[in-house]
Amino acid sequence: MCGIFGITGHGEASNLTYLGLHALQHRGQESAGIVSSDGHTLRAHRQMGLVADIFTAPVIEGLPGDAAIGHVRYSTAGGSQLKNAQPLFVAYAGGQFSIAHNGNIVNAAEIKASLEAEGALFQSDADTEVVMHLLARSKQPTFEAKLVEALRKVEGAYSILLLTEDKLIAVRDPHGFRPLVLGKMKEGAYVVASETTALDLIEAEVIREMEPGELVVIENGVLRASMPFKPAPRLGRCIFEHVYFAKPDSVLFGSSVYEVRKRLGMQLAREQPAPDADLVIAVPDSGVPAAIGFSQTSGIPYDVGLIRSHYVGRTFIEPQQSIRHFGVKLKLSAVRSVLKGKRVVVVDDSIVRGTTSRKIVKMLKAAGAVSVHLRISSPPTQWPCYYGIDTPSRTELIAASHSTEEIAKYVTADSLGYLSLEGLGTAVEDPKRNTYCTACFSGQYLTEKLSRDSDVAKLSA
């Protein structure tokens, strides 16, 4: 995942982009960047680390102009290095432009190899740079036409912001994998962001969510929208955004993230009850709404049994296993007075590798819990995501090779229950599951290349 934010038509564009990125920090903690335009020149600052540490007052002063785009990064394609930090920025024959990308282009390696064979030189490992090369090589007459031609050659997930000297452009892939919303400030400035929480922070009004396959150009205070791409056979909004990534206060794909997560917990309580438990607790923060829903439906009291340190980032999106492993102890601590002598239901959003869940269950038992019943508000994660989540191999996913009973034994839980795929569809109010991508749970990839490759993998498995 990544978070992107853009604004045009405001004299404090870089300051507001900083605030927008701060609201989207949960979507990426490796690096951050802002590129601004004063109408003639683009200026960039990118650095490894957190938004608040990177963008000091002198740095923001060095990014003048009334338009800017920003990016917080969590790497899926390209390593965790400064050269891969975004927004990427380039000068070419047609002028200057910068690009910020949330998603993952699944045929980037093939396109890159073809371009390199023709003499193209790449500055980063990021799949986003492929789009820049395709755009710069296009013979189309306008920048927008060049962009459309470039994007018609790529496959996968992209919500993209581009900044030229005089335009802010936003585009979303035809499947609509990654979110992107339009907003407007009282002063008239237009805003585009990954989530509504960023618009709320700067007091911008949400206009609407951008449509899958939509291209928006904002120039001289005028917004133009078009649908230049062939519609996808079906929508593919990422269901894991609702399960884990998005902030609970955001409205995502037309639904409140908090309310969806609460419904996930309510459905989980119906499917995987724990009638002998004394209390329900959550793995904070993403598990809290589901735990509240579980408690309300089951009638088992909810309490706070785990405290999260807010000085530690999200352990799932740490780039290295060694840091992720160490981060669990730094991140969570058990409340002994709540847990001692109790039969505990602990609700979490997912199990990916299993190592975090194992540590949490052991921590709860060490704090005095008599039994620990682990309940997961999503189905088993059995397939890698190639659309922007860091699960590149099935070998890293414990549910791909172990039964629920085996996983329960590994994590040392007294019982383990997952939400069903059908229950997940009910909770997001899409019971036929025809507008969401559930590939990480079902193995049903929506783009042509991955659908073909996964069918081969299933046949040979």
Which are the catalytic amino acids?
A: 2
The helix/strand/coil state of 263 is helix
Phi-psi region of 324 (alpha: psi -120 to 50; beta: other; left: phi over 0): alpha
Which tokens hold the place of 399? 């549910």
Q: What is the DSSP letter of 245?
A: I
Residues 6+ apart with CB under 8 A from 260: 242, 252, 427, 428
Does the bond joining 285 to the residue before it have cis omega, within 30 degrees of 0? yes
Centre a 10 Å sphere on the Cβ of residue 425 and count the other Cβ atoms it contains. Answer: 19
Q: Are strands 95-105 and 168-172 parallel, antiparallel or unpaired?
A: unpaired
- The number of CA neighbours under 13 Å toward the Cβ of 444 is 13
Task: Report the b/e string of 297-316 with b at 16+ CB within 10 A.
Answer: bbebebbebbeeeeeebbbb
